[in-house]
Amino acid sequence: MRALDFGPGINNRATDPKTSTLQLKAPTYLSTLPIMMVLSEHNVSYENGSKTIHYLAAGPKLGPILIFCHGWRQNMETSAGVSRISGIRNMPGYGKSTSNKIYSDYAQEKIVPGLLALLADSGRKDAVWAAHDWGSGCLWSLAATHPEVCCGVINSAVPYRLLELGLEALIKYINREKHPESEFPYGQWPYQVFHEQNFEKVTAWFDANPEGALQVFYVKGSAANLKKLARTANVVKDGG
């Protein structure tokens, strides 16, 4: 089993060859955690075994369960001391989860079954779910269509009934003073249009240099740019 990077604060790691679990010493500033936090890797099959969701679990096996969607690795460190954690490190298309190059596989109706499969694998009927960014759209879809599996929902950055409704919903809220409709009909969202129209081209671009793509996306932002034209506004015009 390979060592996994859980960010700053955890610098001692060892793999137990008998259980294939990764044992991580908790940071000293987290006094609520046990001395060793054990994270186990899981692969859950769904859609008749044709797809897989990969996730990590930590914390007590009994008690409330908190499921993180799309990241949240540092939060797992803190929460594992008080609840059972299932962290979806790899949403569909990421890491060890199924990553088909099929456009329709990333529709919400295809992603929600993966969330339900993970919950079923935990042995629970409901959970507190947490998400951000693109994970938020998936979580809002789950909450809207399967409220019975949500005893709590924590979503940041994305309001309810927006991202999960698609591009048509986003367009309604574009700042037209900054992005005039005559010149920028899709506002800051034309990259989504480009994805829809050029799925294979975009996929090939990401696959060519994933690390480089992430470096571009995570450039430090500036409040001064809020009044400027979005850097994504000309994606369709520029051909990518």
Q: Are residues 111 and 207 in the same domain?
A: no
Question: The CATH number of the domain where 43 resides is what?
Answer: 3.40.50.1820
CA distances from 93 to 46, 114, 115, 207 (A): 15, 12, 14, 11
Q: Could you tell me if residue 12 is left (phi over 0), alpha (psi between -120 and 50 degrees) or otherwise beta?
A: beta
CA-wise closest residue to 37 among 1, 11, 66: 11
List the domain range (segments joined by +) for residue 28.
1-165
Band of pLDDT at residue 31, cut at 50, 70 and 90: very low
The pLDDT of residue 187 is above 90: yes
Q: Are residues 178 and 224 in the same domain?
A: yes
Q: Per the structure, how many domains does the chain have?
A: 2
pLDDT of the residue at 82? 63
Instruction: Compute the average pLDDT of residues 77-83.
Output: 69
Band of pLDDT at residue 76, cut at 50, 70 and 90: confident
Q: Are residues 155 and 100 in the same domain?
A: yes
| Of 106, 132, 165, the domain-final residue | 165
pLDDT tens readout for residues 131-161? 988 899 999 999 999 999 999 999 988 999 9
Q: Are residues 177 and 191 in the same domain?
A: yes
Decide the pairing of beta strands 51-58 and 36-46: antiparallel
pLDDT of the residue at 186? 97
Q: Are 135 and 71 in contact (CB under 8 A)?
A: yes
pLDDT of the residue at 83? 66
The pLDDT of residue 15 is above 60: no
CA distances from 61 to 68, 82, 126 (A): 16, 11, 15
| Of 165, 198, 224, the domain-final residue | 165
User: Structure tokens of 26?
Assistant: 């908790």
| Of 138, 165, 192, the domain-final residue | 165
Q: Are residues 141 and 200 in the same domain?
A: no
Beta partners for residue 160, in sequence order: none
The pLDDT of residue 12 is above 50: no
The pLDDT of residue 20 is above 50: no
Band of pLDDT at residue 81, cut at 50, 70 and 90: low
User: Structure tokens of 30?
Assistant: 């987290």
pTM confidence score:
0.79
The pLDDT of residue 89 is above 80: no
Number of H helices, E strands in the chain: 8, 8
Q: Are residues 161 and 171 in the same domain?
A: no
Residues 6+ apart with CB under 8 A from 199: 101, 103
Q: Are residues 156 and 172 in the same domain?
A: no
Of 68-72, 84-88, 177-181, 184-188, the poorest mean pLDDT is in 84-88
Of 5-19, 67-81, 213-227, the poorest mean pLDDT is in 5-19
Q: Are residues 138 and 79 in the same domain?
A: yes
Helix axes 190-197, 199-208, angle to 10 degrees: 100
Quote the distance between the C-alpha of residue 12 and its chain's center: 26
In the chain, the percentage of residues whose pLDDT exceeds 70 is 81
